[in-house]
Structures are given as structure tokens and as C-alpha cells.
Amino acid sequence: MTTLWATIFVLGVLIFVHELGHFLVAKWAGIKVERFSLGFPPKMIGKTIGETDYCISWIPLGGYVKMAGENPDEPTTGDPREFMSKPVGVRSMVILAGPVMNFIAAVLVFIGVLWLHGRDMPDPMQVVVGPVVLGGPADRVGIKTGDIIQAVDHQRVTEFGTMARLIHGRPGDTVEVLWRHERDLYSARLRTRIDTAKTTDGRDTVIGIIGIGMGYITQRVSFADAVSGGLAQTFDFCGEMVKFLGGLVSGNVSIKNVSGPVGIAQIAGRVAKEGWAVLLNFMAILSLNLALLNVLPVPILDGGHLVFLFLEKLRGRPLSIKQRAVAQQVGLALLLLLIVTVTYHDIVRFIAG
């Protein structure tokens, strides 16, 4: 149930924000909006207010804003409130408003989480346990999130990196771990799981792991620091996403590393258990992904529509209905192929645990 409500919350908010951008700018431009839908047809429930039908539809893979005269195969009447009656610049603003709203939403969420929750940082005085891998060596001996690791093989540790190096150097070996849970001390011998990691020069190396992540303490920040920190997070993540996309194009990054709806649902369920701040930060990262992916020049995405408008500006007239239809079909086929591929890899990862 946690996974279900977290997925509905995250995707629902992101889709709503995106379509709200299109809707608000269309209204500002004087374009008649016939429908505002979360999800794709068939329609589930809805209510008509004024000239717009607001609804929730059954297929939860996105949403849409239906504007009068938007589809090129629809007969136009020349009404000044139709989408195609507006100048190319205005139509471009309407199309771009969705990704821009997702970008703005991500910035605001990053700032809000920093200001209200604070900045998570490693404890400089002790090793705090963060997420514990279900079924991993640490989980099997009872180590919990929030516990304090005090020693590994009788060597006292006060810094996560030191503890990690001791365990990484013992792949497949048995280590003794001393930890504190609340006021009680516990000790257990556990066999490390063998894993691989990248060295600084890019080579694979074998390491031992016990299945714990780093825990953090929370430091309060001022509003000014929250704003600067939120902006820094936004642009850092944007840079990472651009590099990731570049890696996909060049072949240096495998498509197996891309998550689809199933993978997003799994991650949403996990991060929801770690608290509202982690869930909102995850939502902000997804919002940036949605903003960036939507401006890619692929027909059926917002970026593809912007390409059509750019060509219309150059030619002095829009592309023909046939040309747009063919491009949209190619874009839809590519999108469906991508969804099927990433969903397959999501399911494989889920089965493999």
C-alpha cells in the first residue's frame, strides 16, 4: 500500500504540474481549453466547469490539455481562440510551459525541503546506519536503520568511510561487527556479500558489503541558504542528467540503467518509508527528468511540437497533415518501444531482487 499511494502521489503531482503549465499559459493567451485530463482516455470521472471538462482518465501514463483547433486534422474555423490561430511564438510558449513548470516545481521542492527539513549530512562523530538492504548480511543479524556501528573486527570506527574500507577489503569473509541499538550493545559475526565497484581509474574491483547505507544527521539552514542550496541541487542534477543522456546516445551507458513506471513505483515505495523529505526530493528529481525529457526533439513529446513550430516559422506555413501524422506515429512507436524495453528491465530487476 505504501508503494501504491507513493506512486499515485508522485506521478499525480508531476503530471498535474506539467499540464497546469500548458493550461495556464493557454488561458493567458486566450486559447479555448476544451479538456484538462490527468491520464489518457477512456475517461474515468470528470466535471465540466465553464468551457473546460476537467477529468481523470484510466491510463495513468501522463495527461493532456485539449485546446480548440490544436489537432491539424481537425477543421479550423478561423476563430481567434483556436490554438492554430495564434502566432508561432505564443504557441511555442504554450508548449514550453509544461516542462518549465516541472523545472520550477523541482526548484521550489528542493528549496522547501531544505528550509523545512534541513540539510542531511554525515555524522562526524559516529557511524550512523542508513538504509538496510532487506535480506542482506546486516539485516539478517538485526542491524536497523539508526543504529550506531562502533567497531569492525575489534577496530573502533567513528567515520563511515573507515568502516566501509574495512568491510570492502574482506569480500566473502566473516567479519565481527559491534553496534549499538538505542541503549543496548550487540555483536555478531557475519559473512560479507561479494560485490563489484569501480576504482578511481574506472576498473572493476571485488569488494565485500554487508548491505547498509550511510545514515545522516539533520542540520537546520536559513531561508537564504535553502534558496542557494536548492538552486545548486537543481543544476547539479540537471548536469548529471545531461551526462546520462549523453552516455545513452554514445553507448557508454546501458538502457538497462533506465527505469520506467515499474521501477519508479518500486523506488517511490522505498523512499516513502524513509520519510517525507526523501520522498519529496525524489519527486523533485523526477520532475527535472520530466522537464528535460519532454524538450527532447522527439515527435509526440513537447520538444517534437517545438520542432514543428520552428519548421513552420522557417517555411512560413505549417507542415502538412500527412507529414505531422507520420512524424507522430514514428514518435509514438519509439516511445512505446522505450516503455516496453525499460519495463522489461524493471521486471527483471524486481525478480532478481
User: Which cell is 194 given?
Assistant: 561479494
> 101 — alpha (psi -120 to 50), left (phi > 0) or beta?
alpha
**In 162-296, at which residue ranges do the beta strands (DSSP E only) sit?**
174-181, 184-191, 193-198, 204-209, 212-214, 216-219
User: What is d(CA 306, CA 302) in angstroms, rounded to the nearest whole number?
Assistant: 6
**Known active-site residue 51:** no
User: Which cell is 29 given?
Assistant: 493567451
Paired residues of 187 in beta bridges: 178
User: What is d(CA 337, CA 328) in angstroms, rounded to the nearest whole number?
Assistant: 14
Q: Quick check: helix, strand or coil at residue 314?
A: helix
| Beta carbons of 216 and 118 less than 8 angstroms apart | no
User: What is d(CA 82, CA 32) in angstroms, rounded to the nearest whole number?
Assistant: 6
Of 19, 34, 182, 240, catalytic: 19
Paired residues of 64 in beta bridges: 37
Paired residues of 37 in beta bridges: 55, 64
Query: Which residue reads 525529457 in cell numbers?
Result: 293
Catalytic residues: 19
